[in-house]
Amino acid sequence: MGSEYIAPVRLAILEADTPVPGIKAKYGSYGGVFRNLFEQACATLNPPQPLSAQLDLSYHDIVNDLDAYPDPEAIDAVLITGSKYSAYENDEWIIRLVQYTRRCLEGGRVRVVGVCFGHQIVGRAMGADVGKNSRGWEISVTEHELTEEGKKLFGMEKIFIHEMHRDAVFSLPPGVTKLAHTDVCDVQGMYVPRRLITVQGHPEFTGDMVREILEMRRYGGIITQDLFEDGMRRVNNKHDGVAVARAFLRFLRE
């Protein structure tokens, strides 16, 4: 007898920003960036699998089209991307994203993955305190200390992933398990089995991507020269983005 067919997870990627020019030229949108990440993750499964065996991806520009949201009945999960915007602001599209995220979480069937800004949106939707971190920026490849649950989920003792944020989730919502922390940011990841998983960092980023973002932010005066140089020293360090993506895949199949 053949093995039972398991349908791919219908994952809607909610694009909360437009990539910088170099990333846009190569990947098109942040949906394309995450497609690349998940393709790498699927290739490292045992046995390796094509992306199409695991995920059925769709992309949704929720910043420029307030009606871009997928019908929750037509999907299995959403992934909220990073963004240059702040999750605690009250622009109409951000308010609508918080409401949609809360609807998915309360509905009980559609699972939610949050990355950076998406992590903060999930926190806000669940009533956590979100704001600008007085400890400052985290940028480039950063070491994360994992909780016991984080070690189980990621299959590692600690992880290194890219960071690009100054905003943070300051409190853990009720019933949520913390996955990781750093010296700068105490809530680096959140988890509820079969409901949500988030990371403050950027598993989808590569050294080339972060280099371009750092250069643009330095020239734009957003980060200082010292911060820029610190980030550039670590930009090509080994990171565990693919391992985090494999954890996302496992979560989606729980």
104 as an active site residue: the answer is no
Question: Given 144, 162, 202, 239, which residue is catalytic?
Answer: 202
Question: Given 104, 116, 138, 163, which residue is catalytic?
Answer: 116
Residues 180, 188: contact at Cβ < 8 Å?
yes
* Pairing label, strands 9-15, 55-61: parallel
Give the C-alpha separation, 191 to 213, whole Å. Answer: 28
188 torsion bin: left (phi>0), alpha (psi -120 to 50), beta (else): alpha
Q: Which residues in 111-131 are b (16+ Cβ under 10 Å) and which e?
A: bbbbbbbbbbbbbbbbebebe
Residue 107 CA from chain centroid, whole number: 21
Question: Given 60, 144, 204, 239, which residue is catalytic?
Answer: 204
Give the C-alpha separation, 127 to 237, whole Å. Answer: 35
202 as an active site residue: the answer is yes
116 as an active site residue: the answer is yes
Give the C-alpha separation, 155 to 136, whole Å. Answer: 29
- Residues with a catalytic annotation lie at 116, 202, 204
